[in-house]
Chain A
Amino acid sequence: MPLAIDVLSWVLIVLGSFFTVVGGIGLVRMPDIYTRMHAASVTDTLGGGLLIFGMMLQAGFSLVTLKLLFILGLFFFFAPVVTHALAQAALHEDIEPELAEDRRGRAEAMD
């Protein structure tokens, strides 16, 4: 494998891991379910996508690449579908998105 492709794939994999970690931190730090989903979607698209691209470059042209392509396609189609289902379930349970005004109000109430 040429060195350039190797380096490129590792850069992609490291970037993908970085975005996955960022998504994980966001999942813990965000205040309510909608913003948490927003953070988790970084893991879905950027993290997963970059990781799979990196792995495809590692695998070269083979059956593995085709399988990874399938996984990537399913990922991009169904991560939004699942996120949408989750958001809708949250709405169905009457969970209101927490707005900046709410938080300001709470901070004033504390003072």
Chain B
Amino acid sequence: MSLDLILRIGTKLILPFILMFALYVQFHGDYGPGGGFQAGVIAAGMVILIAITFGMSAAKRVAPQAVVERMVPLGVLVFAGTGVVGLLLGKNFLDYSVLGHDPVHAREWGILLVELGVLITVSGTMTALFYAFVERGR
């Protein structure tokens, strides 16, 4: 157990960086490479790293299984809901230009919202997949 010390401390050190990098990739996706898909996978990678180093119980404290499984449909709902808002406000499905006063800004906001939905679904699905495979091994 004591031999794990370096690995555990190292993991603890890198975790905030991974989460920060995931958020950077998510919100900087408009200006540089990145977006919801990549950020979701990186965030899921953080949970998997916790599970590998500290065990499944620690990972489930960080990302409880119920929350993760609810994230899977929630992201799709956020995505589709953004589209439906456009529909309700009298434009086409997934037309974001109604979300603000200025159509250009509104579309930027729409992109952010949609990417958020993608992030939620992808990170939730990837973590849930990992949980499902590990649980089966027990």
Contact = CB atoms under 8 A, between A and B. Distances in A.
A and B touching (Cβ–Cβ under 8 A): yes
Interface of A: 74, 77-78, 80-81, 84-85, 88
B14 A88 contact: no
B13 A77 contact: yes
B14 A78 contact: yes
Contacts of B3: 88
A4 to B, nearest CB: 31
B17 interface: yes
A85 B11 CA distance: 11
B7 interface: yes
B88 interface: no
B10 interface: yes
Nearest to B13: A77
Chain A contact residues: helix, strand, loop or mixed: helix
A88 B13 contact: no
Contacts of B7: 81, 84-85, 88
Contacts, number: 19
B78 to A, nearest CB: 30
* Chain B interface extent, by class: under 10
B66 interface: no
A80 B13 CA distance: 13
A78 B18 CA distance: 13
Nearest to A81: B10
19 contacts: A74-B14, A74-B17, A77-B10, A77-B13, A77-B14, A78-B10, A78-B14, A80-B6, A81-B6, A81-B7, A81-B10, A81-B11, A84-B6, A84-B7, A85-B6, A85-B7, A88-B3, A88-B4, A88-B7
B116 to A, nearest CB: 24
A9 B26 CA distance: 32
A81 B11 CA distance: 9
Nearest to A85: B7
A78 to B, nearest CB: 6
B49 to A, nearest CB: 11
A80 B14 CA distance: 13
Interface in B1-51: 3-4, 6-7, 10-11, 13-14, 17
